[in-house]
Amino acid sequence: MRICVFGAGAVGGHMAVKLARAGHEVSCVMRGAHLTAARANGLTLEAGGERFTARVAASDDPATLGPQDLVISALKANSLGGLADGIGPLLGPETAVVAAQNGVPWWYARGLGARPAPPDLGFLDPGGRLAAALPAGRVIGGVIFSSNEIREVGVVVNDSPERNLLVIGEPDDAASARVAELRAVLAAAGIGSPEVADIRQVIWSKLIGNMTVSVLCMLTGKTAAGAFQDPALRPVLPMLMSEAAAVAAAHIPGFVRFNAGGGGPPDHKPSFLQDYELGRPMEVDALITAPAAFARAAGLATPMIDLMAALAVQKARDAGLFQAPAPM
């Protein structure tokens, strides 16, 4: 397949190397020093004590790459404007786009069926640019379970050798030939992609951790494992998780948390903390603002999450990594 990974940072670079090594024609939209290194030396993945390098067609201009069979968007939620602007040249008549990101996705309201209506999520797609660039039928939902970081340009290090999944599904959860084919492609490349009946169950399953543990790690500077092991934090985590799970259950009837496997929490800094430490814009809207809107829509009180979120927003804002909207 001709596969473009749009946003080949830590997670995207991991997938690009594995897909290229599986024999696919892989291209990557990327930028900066990471792009320069990939052009010169290929992309390298360090995982499970081994080191793999793959050549990919790397560019910061999607127009040079041509139409693809599949595009996997691995951009952070706050960078998706680049996808809206650049996706056009990559789309052929049948090209599907896997939207793999943390937090509440911009397409969440599509294909909901009889589920409770979500709150207004327009702030996740300002001006409707993504919806216009990727109309119904293009998007496949995706949820990543894989801990990665870039420790040097052109080199991705995987910190979760027992858990590397890209879980996918149609926005309306219908069975489709393209999703079945893509699951097989991913599995053959060493990227787990189990069959699931409800992609939003998986979204909320990861979001419960993102809106609690990831935010707590950003506030404390700890890895996920470090947060769970800290005696001072250990009693707090179940209370945070309980509040988050209640929000999920209010919007997903019969909610059962998806088991991604891989044992306990990784000794890995979540990307929310990585972004803060590296001075990169942060996914505050997708991980904090949107879940809070879901809680309000369900009439749920989440005092512990609200306090932690307020501290995280202030910290990100004071570092110049998030601009909160002006009060009405």
Q: How do beta strands 50-54 and 43-47 pair?
A: antiparallel
Token pair of 138, please?
A: 């293009």
11 to 127, 161, 271, 280, 290: CA distances (angstroms) = 27, 13, 10, 16, 22
Using CB atoms within 10 Å of the CB of residue 256, give its burial: 0 to 12 exposed, 13 to 18 middle, 19+ buried.
exposed
Rounded to an integer, what distance in angstroms lies between the CA atom of residue 150 and that of residue 37?
12
With CA atoms as reference, report the closest residue to 56 among 5, 104, 9, 107. 5
Provide the H-helix boundaries in 171-214. 177-188, 199-209
Residue type, 305: I
DSSP structure string for 264-300: S--SS--HHHHHHHHT----HIIIIIHHHHHHHHTT-
How many alpha carbons lie under 13 Å from residue 173 in its C-beta half-sphere? 14
Catalytic pick among 206, 222, 269, 315: 206
Coil, strand or helix: which one is 29? strand
Question: What is the length of the chain?
Answer: 328
Three-class secondary structure assignment of 94-159: EEEEEEECCCCCCCCCCCCCCCCCCCCCHHHCHHHHHHHHCCCCCEEEEEEECCEEEEECCEEEEC
Is residue 219 within a helix (H) or strand (E), and if so which, with residue range?
helix 215-220
State yes or no: is 222 an active-site residue. Answer: no
Residues assigned a catalytic role = 206
